[in-house]
Every structure is written in structure tokens, then in C-alpha cells.
Amino acid sequence: MASVLNTVSSLTLSNAKTKRLRTPLVTAPISISITRRRLTVRATETEASEVKAQAPDKAPVSGGSGINQILGIKGAKQETDKWKIRVQLTKPVTWPPLIWGVVCGAAASGNFHWNLEDVAKSIVCMLMSGPCLTGYTQTLNDWYDREIDAINEPYRPIPSGAISENEVITQIWVLLLGGLGLAGLLDVWAGHDFPVIFYLALGGSLLSYIYSAPPLKLKQNGWIGNFALGASYISLPWWAGQALFGTLTPDIIVLTLLYSVAGLGIAIVNDFKSVEGDRALGLQSLPVAFGTETAKWICVGAIDITQLSVAGYLLGAGKPYFALALLGLIIPQVFFQFKYFLKDPVKYDVKYQASAQPFLILGLLVTALATSH
């Protein structure tokens, strides 16, 4: 990123003019061309008839929840206030795992102290990981998912036209540059000779881009895409928190990447509600590739086996009490998997995640504390 910024003298955002058609117009992905002196970002256009968007069987509930709207989850109220729509695009409901990852990294460093400076550093790191870079990721993903959303959820802000393409593109750039700026600030604040947090933020941002955007579009492959998503939510914020207060070591990198397999399972949970759109656009999510029944078991297997493996690692490392604590946190997750998720992963996805995921993220903290002792 630093080398690109040195050679790029201007950033130009331009969008193609849309034609008025009787059918809805769905814009195609942003195209990026880099010349020696200019980086141009353009939004090209395609007709919605090529996507064959259809209204979903279940439209949003009339007079939906304002809280759901702000959080960016199902059942959202249809909103016209642009700032509320901007917040909705960043999906604040997805920020806590990243913020928690920073907490785990700080705990694993063994060097966090409850003083004003360390608390301030951690808050800035959380702002970078959550609102800025997760907000960037979610807005970018919604931008590239607008064709799928036109099929599955046409009432969402972008496919419904509640926010313009220029406003979305501007938001993407502001959040990205804001996050990278905070990362650079943290490196200076921590006295790093090598800007490790900046490069972690840059790498995570590039991973988010290739996850959502063609030609790579990692999310087209259920295995690679979901693991990349899991690593973004578990490994990267942990690494940032640990690098801010201590040293990022190879054993922690391996352990957190292993934990990211559980993140893969969590990511699969969100694929079940998009099966129709994924299939129509040729995305090989695991529910599409293997069918709903098989994908359910792949999902819970990835979550449970990963945590059992980490518990085994802690036991082998001479941390039996931490291993037992982690096992105790796996049991309620299995209970809620059978109670909600395995019965109907679409109907009960929100209930399952609200019930089971708190135990998973507590397990992350247990693991972090174990590695710091």
C-alpha cells in the first residue's frame, strides 16, 4: 500500500451514468485500473434483467425495528435518513467479535496494564478494527453483493436505491483510509520500528477486497472464502492487539489460524439464508455445494472440533485448568446447536448465534489468558 501511494498521484472516483429503464438497474462491480500516474475507480452497469432479480418469498416485516436497522440485521425498519443508512451498511452487529479479538490479543501479550494510556491505546485499536475496517469490509461486501441482494433481499439499502452509488463508494474509501490512518498512529504510539499494525490492517483490507470483489472473489468458494472471513474476525484483531502491547510470536499465529477454522464454521451460518441468490449467481457456498443437511454438520463440526483441538493443545502445554474451562464453554454451544441450528439453520440463525457465540468468544479469552501465563 505504501508503495502504491508513492506512485499514485491522484485518486479519481467516477461512476457511469445510468439509463432509465423500466426494469430496475443493477450496477456491476467497481472496476479499478492503475496507470503510472492515475488510479481510477469506476462503477459500470448491467441491466437487472441479466440477473433476473425476484422479490423474496418473505418481504421485510412492515414497520420493522429501528434497532435492527441500526445494527444491520434482518427485520430492519425501512429508513430514509442517510446517516442511519450509512451506519446500517457498516453492520455494527459484526463489530463485537473484532473488538473482542483486540481484547484477547492484549490479554495474550501479558503486557496490558489498567492505566489511562493502555486503555486509550486499546480503544483506538478497537475503533480501527470495528467501526473503521469492519465497517469498510461490510460496506464493500454489500456493494459487491447488490446483485445477490436484489434476489434475496431487494429492500436492502443498496439494491433498493436508498443510498446512491457515489455515496457508497465514498463511504468505502473514508472507512478504509480512516482505519489505515489509525493503524499508523498506533504503530507510532507503540514505538514500533516496523509498522506491524499498519501492515496487518493493510493485509486485512486487501483480504476483504479480494474476498468480495472479482476477479478473485474468494467468497465464490465456500472453503477458502469462509476461512478468509474467519481469519479476519479472529486472527487479525488478536494479532493487532498483541502487537500493540507485546510481541506477535509464531506459536500465537499458528494457534489463532487454527481457531479461524471455528470462524469458518461461524461464517457458514450466514450462508444458509442466501442459498437462492448464491445458486442463481453461481457462488459455491457450502450449503449450495453440499446441500443444507450436509453443510449444517460441516458447520458445527468446524466449530466444535477446532475448540476441542485447542483444548487438547492447552492440556498438552501444561494448562489443564484452562483446557477444562474451554471444554466447559464448548458444552453449551453443542446444546444450542441441537436446540436451534440443526433444526432449522435459516429460521433460527439469529437465535443460535445470540445463544452460542458468547460462549465461543469467552473461549477465545480463556485461550488468550492461557497463552499469557
**Of 253, 264, 254, residue with least CA distance to 230:** 264
Closest CA relative to residue 207, chosen from 241, 243, 242, 257:
257
The angle that helices 222-245 and 95-109 make with each other, rounded to 10 degrees, is: 50
57: helix, strand or coil = coil
Q: For all residues of the chain together, what is the average pLDDT?
A: 84
Give the mean pLDDT of 19-31.
Answer: 40
- pTM here? 0.79
Predicted local distance difference test score (pLDDT) of residue 242: 97
CA dihedral 226, 288, 274, 22 (to 10 degrees): 120
Average confidence (pLDDT) over 31-58: 40
Boundaries of every domain in the chain? 63-248, 249-372
How would CATH label the architecture of 63-248?
Answer: Orthogonal Bundle (1.10)
Q: Does the pLDDT at position 32 exceed 60?
A: no
Choice among 39-53, 176-190, 217-231 with the minimum mean pLDDT: 39-53
Cell of 298: 460441516
- Asked if 144 contacts 211 with a C-beta cutoff of 8 angstroms, the reply is no
The mean pLDDT of 132-154, rounded to a whole number, is: 91
Domain spanning 249-372: CATH 3.40.50: no
User: What separation in angstroms does the CA of 362 have from each of 100, 261, 330, 366?
Assistant: 9, 16, 10, 6
65 forms beta bridges with 76
Residues with Cβ within 8 Å of residue 250, at least 6 apart in sequence: none
Q: Which of 247, 245, 249, 248 has its CA nearest to residue 112? A: 245
Residues 6+ apart with CB under 8 A from 248: 196, 239, 242
Q: 66-112: per-residue pLDDT in tens?
A: 887 887 777 778 888 899 999 999 999 889 989 999 999 999 999 99
High-pLDDT (> 70) share of the chain, %: 83
